Amino acid sequence: MKFQLEFLKQVARGITKQFGQNCEVVIHDLTTDDLEHSIAFIENGHVSNRALGDGPSHVVLETLRKGADELQDHLGYLTRTTDGRILKSSTIYIRNDQDQIRYIFSINYDITALLTVENALKSLTATETTAKEPEKITQNVNDLLDDLIEQSVVLVGKPVAMMNKEDKVRAIQFLNEAGAFLITKSGDKVSNYFGISKYTLYSYLDAGKENGGA
């Protein structure tokens, strides 16, 4: 396994040398139980403002939540950094001989400047389109949990103060399916955010299961 990681580091260095300082390569290590420090290697970390030992991204939680047979490499999609820059990203799952995912190899290329030029040209020719919001790249597990909670509120479509029980069940079930409760002490933060007890949180998770959730 160590040989595999060293090989991936070698490939990562080659990619960043080829494509320059706007290209970041990140390797998440899933062979350890230290979820909060999953980044085992990173080149050009200034692209997403992350460093060696930082925590997981959305894709790491998705990997831990789903079976290996459900996951396929995700290539050429858009992500967004905390400071608003847009990246073109690819996620590659590195498996062992038993088809277990051991590492996540991610490439993130900053295309913000290129998009500025593209948008200037499109202003002359483009028609109205609906674009998917790029996924946010977070720097640590606290930011990741905050982002997932924000997504759950957007999903429901109303602020917490106006949510009824069904709304909160829907939001919490989304968090469960997104892997939010894999994060240490996330239950406390989610309970406080939605103004419910830990007991109520568990009952809402059970209600989500009864309604066909995971």
- The per-residue pLDDT for range 124-180, each reduced to its tens digit, is 765 555 556 677 787 788 888 998 999 999 898 888 888 899 999 999 999 999 899
Average pLDDT over every residue of 59-85: 88
Average pLDDT over every residue of 86-94: 95
Residues 13 and 105 in one domain: yes
Q: Mention every residue, 6+ apart, whose C-beta is less than 8 A from residue 26.
A: 39, 41, 42, 45, 48, 50, 104, 105, 106, 108
106 domain residue, yes or no: yes
121 domain residue, yes or no: no
pLDDT given at position 214: 45
Answer whether residue 205 shows pLDDT above 80.
Answer: yes
Q: What is the mean pLDDT of the chain?
A: 87
In this prediction, residue 211 has a pLDDT band, given cuts at 50, 70 and 90, of low
Residues 78 and 146 in one domain: no
160 domain residue, yes or no: yes
In this prediction, residue 68 has a pLDDT band, given cuts at 50, 70 and 90, of confident
Residues 10 and 83 in one domain: yes
Residues 69 and 147 in one domain: no
Residues 16 and 80 in one domain: yes
Residues 92 and 163 in one domain: no
Q: Please tell me the total count of domains within the chain.
A: 2
64 domain residue, yes or no: yes
Kindly report the CATH number assigned to the domain that includes residue 9.
Answer: 3.30.450.20
Residues 151 and 81 in one domain: no
List helix spans (H) across the chain. 2-19, 58-65, 112-125, 141-156, 165-177, 186-194, 198-210
Q: What percent of the chain has pLDDT over 90?
A: 50
pLDDT tens column, 6-51: 999 999 999 999 999 999 999 999 988 787 899 999 999 999 999 9
Average pLDDT over every residue of 59-75: 87
Chain-centroid distance of CA 163 in Å reads 26
Model pTM score: 0.69
Answer whether residue 185 shows pLDDT above 70.
Answer: yes
Answer whether residue 65 shows pLDDT above 80.
Answer: yes
Q: What is the DSSP letter of 83?
A: T
Residues 20 and 62 in one domain: yes
Answer whether residue 212 shows pLDDT above 70.
Answer: no
Residues 28 and 92 in one domain: yes
Residues 154 and 104 in one domain: no
Answer whether residue 193 shows pLDDT above 90.
Answer: yes
Q: Mention every residue, 6+ apart, whose C-beta is less than 8 A from residue 200.
A: 191
Residues 48 and 84 in one domain: yes
Range of the domain at 67: 2-116
Taking CA 111 as the corner, what is the angle to CA 110 and CA 117, rounded to the nearest 5 degrees? 150
130 domain residue, yes or no: no
pLDDT given at position 168: 92
